[in-house]
Chain A
């Protein structure tokens, strides 16, 4: 318990220090575009409590749904691709091409095809965040130990049990790595998708404040995004520690770094 408390303290210490520095350095700022941090913080509550339901909650909902979609799609496609070398060889060039497209470039296309509603925004998030999950899942499933696979065959462990007990668990270190990368991509794409032709969401609110020269409010939105991303990465670490407990413990026992 104390060890996890210490980890939390370590994780919070440096950001706290940087905020303190920002506070002190910006305290006597007279720049219109770089207002003192205390003014930004003072604007925080009045800016976001009336906008929680209209801008913050929809953003978080889109992020969560889009991210979950990317994970399900990435793992769902990665498992059959990882397990079938011929299918993988056939699809690899297409995947490489599709992955090379920067997702923001797809926003105008998706807008034409799906309008400017929630569907478009979710698609933008999924189309960018799916790649690290998919590619890492393929690698993870490919690397399933063949002795363990033989063991499953000998003991009649097939079908859904094999998928659940062998394939997904064996690939879970790679899948989780992909999910971690996908999380930051999903946050970026959530903001970007809201900056185009939108009327709600954090990305929209930040752009709107900037256009209206509400500079402290704009900054408070940037900080809110930072806090949101930080909270998600902490949450992810808790998830990872739980899912990969066996993996990290095994590595420690074997003396691997």
Chain B
């Protein structure tokens, strides 16, 4: 394995406020090698979003550190793009799809022609070449999330964080977006950290699945997914190995839930 581009080292996060403290993350460590696609999966309320926000530099962990490309993260790092779950709230409703994708590049000070080239290419790659002039609210949920993905790709990040990006779209759109993301990952060689609560999605997408416990969160298992580089919605999902891995993850998550139910931490 190549040297990790992202390292999460003993992250601990306690939310403190209104006279009560909530321990969201107890102790989390894992790494992502360059070009790897890692899925974080855990029961709902496992602090997945908290973890992602720590990695993104949007909130600071109480202790521990996130290291990206050798540098400690203490604010959103420059080579990182994020796709949020809530596409309806992460696109600017007053800007067209094209301007939404272009804005971070313009802010970076890229020449106009370069911005145009990158934005056109990214929108083309997500299948929205015809939707340049549309506003987000004129697009379906799946298409809005495509715009958000195009914005991330056009930004040319070294690492792409995705926070339950397909949780709010219907099943068919979801399968399309999964394959779209896998295609982009293969073509661009970007490292992807993909957070989801969907076990099937995690196993289908990932090269490695990091299984989290219930809150306060620890890593239950760091599971390699040996399904090969090529994935196919039909063939991969019906293979015996897929079922096996899926069963393994499912078991761990059930155990995590039961541990909480049986008088574990509240």
Partner of B94, one of A147, A150, A158, A169: A169
Nearest-CB residue, chain B, relative to A161: B107
Nearest-CB residue, chain B, relative to A172: B94
Contact A156 B82 (CB under 8 A): no
Partner of A147, one of B90, B93, B95, B138: B90
Contact B92 A155 (CB under 8 A): no
Partner of A155, one of B53, B75, B94, B104: B104
Partner of A154, one of B56, B89, B135: B56
For residue A214, give the distance in angstroms from its CB to the closest CB of chain B.
51
Partner of B84, one of A147, A172, A247, A249: A147
Contact B76 A154 (CB under 8 A): yes
Contacts of A253 in B (CB 8 A): 137-138
Cβ-based interface call for B67 (8 A): no
Contacts of A61 in B (CB 8 A): none
Give the bracket for the number of chain A residues in contact with chain B. Answer: 20 to 34
Contact B76 A156 (CB under 8 A): yes
Contacts of A158 in B (CB 8 A): 107
How far, in whole Å, are A151 and B103 apart by their CA atoms in the complex? 11
Contact A156 B78 (CB under 8 A): yes
Contact with B along A141-160 (1 / 0, CB 8 A): 00001011011011111100
Cβ-based interface call for A250 (8 A): yes
Cβ-based interface call for A254 (8 A): yes
Contacts of B135 in A (CB 8 A): 246, 249-250
How far, in whole Å, are A250 and B92 apart by their CA atoms in the complex? 12
Q: A156-B107, A250-B137 are in contact. Are A147 and B89 (CB under 8 A)?
A: yes
How far, in whole Å, are A5 and B68 apart by their CA atoms in the complex? 59
Contacts of B56 in A (CB 8 A): 150, 154
Contact B155 A166 (CB under 8 A): no
Cβ-based interface call for A165 (8 A): yes
Partner of B76, one of A153, A161, A246: A153
Partner of A151, one of B90, B93, B137, B138: B90
Cβ-based interface call for B212 (8 A): no
Contact B84 A151 (CB under 8 A): yes
For residue A188, give the distance in angstroms from its CB to the closest CB of chain B.
32
How far, in whole Å, are A169 and B103 apart by their CA atoms in the complex? 14
Contact A154 B81 (CB under 8 A): yes
Nearest-CB residue, chain A, relative to B137: A250
Partner of B93, one of A150, A157, A250: A250
Partner of A145, one of B89, B103, B104: B89
For residue B257, give the distance in angstroms from its CB to the closest CB of chain A.
28
Contacts of B80 in A (CB 8 A): 154
Contact with B along A78-119 (1 / 0, CB 8 A): 000000000000000000000000000000000000000000
Contacts of B75 in A (CB 8 A): 153
Cβ-based interface call for B198 (8 A): no
Contact B86 A249 (CB under 8 A): no
Contact B58 A150 (CB under 8 A): yes
How far, in whole Å, are A165 and B58 apart by their CA atoms in the complex? 20
Cβ-based interface call for B108 (8 A): yes
Contacts of A247 in B (CB 8 A): 93-94
For residue A111, give the distance in angstroms from its CB to the closest CB of chain B.
44
How far, in whole Å, are A8 and B149 apart by their CA atoms in the complex? 43
For residue B186, give the distance in angstroms from its CB to the closest CB of chain A.
24
How far, in whole Å, are A155 and B157 apart by their CA atoms in the complex? 10
Contact B94 A156 (CB under 8 A): no
Contacts of A250 in B (CB 8 A): 93, 135, 137
A residues 179-235 in Cβ contact with B at 8 Å: none
Contact B137 A165 (CB under 8 A): no
Contacts of A169 in B (CB 8 A): 92, 94
How far, in whole Å, are A129 and B81 apart by their CA atoms in the complex? 43
Partner of A254, one of B81, B92, B137: B137
A sample of 23 cross-chain residue pairs with beta-carbon separation below 8 angstroms, ordered by A number, consists of A145-B89, A147-B90, A148-B92, A150-B53, A150-B58, A150-B84, A151-B82, A151-B90, A153-B75, A154-B58, A155-B81, A155-B103, A155-B107, A156-B76, A161-B103, A165-B103, A169-B94, A172-B94, A246-B93, A247-B94, A249-B135, A250-B93, A250-B137
The 4 closest A-B pairs by CB, nearest first: A155-B104, A147-B89, A250-B137, A246-B94
Interface, chain B (partner A; CB < 8 A): 53, 56, 58, 75-76, 78, 80-82, 84, 86, 89-90, 92-95, 103-104, 107-108, 135, 137-138, 151, 155
Q: A150-B90, A154-B80 are in contact. List 12 more A-B contacts (CB 8 A).
A: A147-B86, A147-B89, A153-B58, A153-B75, A153-B76, A154-B81, A157-B104, A165-B103, A169-B92, A246-B135, A246-B137, A253-B137
